[in-house]
A = this chain, B = another copy of it.
Amino acid sequence: VNVPAAPDLGYERLDFRIGLNPGRLLSDGVPWWDYRKAEELVAADPDANWFDYWARLSRHYEPIGRDALAAGRELSGGRWLWLASMCSQYAQFIWFHEPERREDEQRRKVQLYRDAAPHLSPPAERIEIPFEGTTITSYLRLPPAAAGPVACVVLLGGLESTKEESYLFENLLLERGMATFAFDGPGQGEMFFDVKLLPDFHRYASAVVDYLVERPEIDPGRLGVLGRSLGGYYALHCAAADARLKAAVCWGGTFDLSDFNIMPPHIARGFLYVSGHEVLARGREYLQEAIDLTELAPELRCPTMIMNGRLDAIFSTKQIAKFERHLVNAHIDYYLEDEGIHCAHNLWHVVRPRLADWLAERLPDAADRP
């Protein structure tokens, strides 16, 4: 087999185009006009600096949001602070060669979302769960006007996404009557500063489940999990490890990291970064051991959806064959979009409502059960 050489995993600055992931920025909430101007900027100057570009926009939207809140315009203010948070997200996105600057912007993103959270509709309640010397930071959102305890979907970010980016997807679950709980696990967002990527992400998810089953607004018998990209791997891993999770969605995830050598270099670099490794050979070995579903696969028994685009340039279609071979004890719905890129981010208007509907149907209340 003609395997490409190991990618260059240095800290060099990346081409702006790599940061303009088509569909993902927009589906996460970045304004189209800003995205379009970014495309024009990079067409005129391939060395344009995306960190500066999005960081400036974050600082443009922040006072617009704070002024609106000060004037009592709560919905607009919350939305614009969240928008500022998204701009900070896509400033620091895969910006590995200036780690201090990246981490400052990551903290800024966290703070902006935290300030937006009480003003979102429905609001996001910040929850901090102490766990083994660190803190699991998270947001719970509850559907308004629920008649009784509701289903809840635990949302997992991936390699370069955190609890803050799921806001728009949460809205789809909330309008279908489900609560949402998004948290940062090992190697992600706020927890990255304390705990790097670990093989046992699932123990953190189980700590979250321990918390959720005690919340009176939530039906402990109707918990699901959805993860995006690397989070899709985590979702399967967590559901296999904790039978209290009754439905799982792997949205653009992988079975293992056997694709490490053929991934785009900036993605491989991201894996090293979140695992705290600097040396390629050792980091790859660590990651390929840490991210591997083989052992737990037979334990997955809940209804599961595996969704991706067939044009995914990060995780190869070999991963689908591995799911089919190893996930032998669960009913799996495969949903692959022919024209979809990684996570089918470009087709969000079709894909996202389908994922939300699938979850709603697997976590029905008593009245809706067949």
Is A75 part of the binding interface, using a Cβ–Cβ cutoff of 8 Å?
Answer: yes
Assembly CA distance A260 to B83 (angstroms): 39
Cβ distance A98 to chain B, nearest Cβ, rounded Å: 28
Contact yes or no, B79 A121, CB < 8 A: no
Binary interface encoding of chain A residues 335-370 relative to chain B, with 1 for a CB under 8 A from any of its CBs, else 0:
000000000001101100110110000000000000
Assembly CA distance A79 to B32 (angstroms): 20
Binary interface encoding of chain A residues 44-87 relative to chain B, with 1 for a CB under 8 A from any of its CBs, else 0:
00000000000000000000100010000101100110010000
Kindly identify which residue among B31, B347, B353 contacts A33, using a CB–CB cutoff of 8 Å.
B347
Is A175 part of the binding interface, using a Cβ–Cβ cutoff of 8 Å?
Answer: yes
A275-309 residues with Cβ-Cβ distance < 8 A to B are none
Given the complex, which residues of B lie within 8 Å of A176, measured CB to CB? 75
Closest residue on chain B to residue A29 by CB atoms? B349
Contact yes or no, A357 B73, CB < 8 A: yes
**Interface centre among A68, A76, A356, by most B CB within 10 Å?**
A76
Cβ distance A124 to chain B, nearest Cβ, rounded Å: 16
Contact yes or no, A353 B76, CB < 8 A: yes
Cβ distance A33 to chain B, nearest Cβ, rounded Å: 5
Cβ distance A31 to chain B, nearest Cβ, rounded Å: 4
Closest residue on chain B to residue A345 by CB atoms? B33
Assembly CA distance A83 to B75 (angstroms): 25
A contact residues, range: 20 to 34
Assembly CA distance A260 to B49 (angstroms): 43
Kindly identify which residue among B31, B33, B121, B354 contacts A175, using a CB–CB cutoff of 8 Å.
B121
Contact yes or no, B32 A76, CB < 8 A: no
Cβ distance A311 to chain B, nearest Cβ, rounded Å: 12
Contact yes or no, B23 A32, CB < 8 A: yes
Cβ distance A164 to chain B, nearest Cβ, rounded Å: 17
Binary interface encoding of chain A residues 8-32 relative to chain B, with 1 for a CB under 8 A from any of its CBs, else 0:
0000000000000011001000011
Assembly CA distance A31 to B31 (angstroms): 14
Cβ distance A138 to chain B, nearest Cβ, rounded Å: 25
Kindly identify which residue among B31, B75, B144, B145 contacts A349, using a CB–CB cutoff of 8 Å.
B31
Given the complex, which residues of B lie within 8 Å of A347, measured CB to CB? 33
Cβ distance A135 to chain B, nearest Cβ, rounded Å: 33
Is A36 part of the binding interface, using a Cβ–Cβ cutoff of 8 Å?
Answer: yes
Closest residue on chain B to residue A176 by CB atoms? B75
Cβ distance A220 to chain B, nearest Cβ, rounded Å: 26
Cβ distance A349 to chain B, nearest Cβ, rounded Å: 4
Q: Given contacts A76-B357, A176-B75, are A350 and B145 in contact (CB under 8 A)?
A: no
Given the complex, which residues of B lie within 8 Å of A33, measured CB to CB? 23, 346-347, 349
Contact yes or no, B175 A353, CB < 8 A: no
Given the complex, which residues of B lie within 8 Å of A75, measured CB to CB? 175-176, 353, 357
Cβ distance A170 to chain B, nearest Cβ, rounded Å: 14
Contact yes or no, B76 A354, CB < 8 A: yes
Contact yes or no, A83 B353, CB < 8 A: no
Closest residue on chain B to residue A27 by CB atoms? B32
Query: Would you list 12 pairs from A and B whose C-beta atoms are within 8 A, ordered by A residue?
Result: A23-B33, A32-B349, A33-B347, A68-B353, A73-B353, A75-B176, A76-B353, A76-B357, A79-B353, A80-B350, A80-B353, A144-B145
Residue numbers of A with Cβ under 8 A of B are 22-23, 26, 31-33, 36, 64, 68, 73, 75-76, 79-80, 83, 121, 144-145, 175-176, 346-347, 349-350, 353-354, 356-357
